[in-house]
Amino acid sequence: MNLNKTELVEALAAKAEISKTAAGNALEALLEVITETLVKNDGISLIGFGSFTVSKRAARTGRNPQTGAPLKIAASRVAKFSAGAKLKAALNTTKGKKN
């Protein structure tokens, strides 16, 4: 199951014991800060949780999957997330693990 934004706000509000409005505002602010930081080509490091970084993708030639015709794919910057040690450990415990 994936959480959508509304469900995430509800979970944040319950966990932090704050209103849904406050949780929604906090989530929006967090997303804005992450976006603004990555746009500046800076990274964000949350010790134990993970890191957000910007990576450059070179221009390349691809293929149209329907026709097989070659097409040019422009260079771009992409956001990347690397999980930290605590998050990796939590993901690899057997407690509550779904297969």
- Cα 90 from chain centroid? 17
Cα(38)–Cα(26) distance, integer angstroms: 18
Whether residues 31 and 55 share a domain: the answer is no
Long-range contacts at 87-95 (CB < 8 A, ≥ 24 apart)? 87/48, 87/49, 87/50
Are 61 and 87 in a shared domain? yes
pLDDT band for position 96 (cuts 50, 70, 90): low
**What pLDDT sits at residue 1?**
77
Q: Tell me which residue range forms the domain holding 5.
A: 1-40
Examine the pLDDT at 99 and tell me if it is beyond 60.
no
**36 and 48 belong to one structural domain:** no
Is the predicted pLDDT of residue 56 greater than 70, yes or no?
A: yes
pTM: 0.79
Task: Give pLDDT tens digits for 4-53.
Answer: 999 999 999 999 999 999 999 999 999 999 999 999 999 999 999 999 99
Does residue 18 sit in the same domain as residue 65?
no
Asked if pLDDT for residue 91 goes beyond 80, the answer is yes
